[in-house]
Amino acid sequence: MSELVLINVSGRDKPGLTSEITGIMGQYEVRILDIGQAVIHDYLTWGILIQIPDASHSSPVIRDLLFCLHALDLQVRFAPITPEEYQQWAQGRNRACYIVTLLARDITAEQIARVSAITARHQLNIDNITRLSARPSLNVDENRTACVEFSVRGTPDNLAQLRADFLHLASEMNVDIAFQEDSIFRRNRRLVVFDMDSTLIEAEVIDELALEAGVGPQVAAITERAMQGELDFSQSFAERLALLKGLDESVLERVAARLKMTEGAEHLIRSLKALGYRTAILSGGFTYFARNLQRQLGIDYVYANELEIVDGKVTGRVSGAIVDGARKAELLLEIAKKERISHEQVIAVGDGANDLPMLSEAGLGVAFRAKPVVKESARHAISTLGLDAILYLIGFRESETNQQVQPPRDHDTGL
- Strand pairing category for 346-350 and 313-319: unpaired
**Which residues are CB-contacts of 171 (< 8 A; sequence separation ≥ 6)?**
none
Q: CB–CB of 44/11 below 8 Å? A: yes
Residue 381 three-state SS: strand
Nearest to 99 by CA among 183, 179, 175: 179
Give CA–CA dist 393/153, Å, rounded: 18
Residues counted in the chain: 415
DSSP structural state of residue 201 = B
**Which residues are CB-contacts of 24 (< 8 A; sequence separation ≥ 6)?**
61, 64, 65, 68
Type of residue numbered 326:
A
Instruction: Spot the catalytic one: 165, 176, 195, 388.
Output: 195
Clarify whether 232 is annotated catalytic. no
How many CB atoms are located within 10 Å of the residue 226 CB?
24
Distance set, CA 11 to CA 20, 75, 92, 150, 165 (Å): 15, 6, 29, 24, 37
Distance set, CA 158 to CA 123, 211, 278, 355, 381 (Å): 10, 48, 35, 27, 20
Give CA–CA dist 356/344, Å, rounded: 16
Clarify whether 197 is annotated catalytic. yes
Angle of helix 17-26 relative to helix 58-71, nearest 10 degrees?
160
Q: CB–CB of 25/58 below 8 Å? A: no
- Strand pairing category for 97-104 and 146-154: antiparallel
Instruction: Spot the catalytic one: 197, 300, 351, 355.
Output: 197
**What are the residue numbers of the active site?**
195, 197
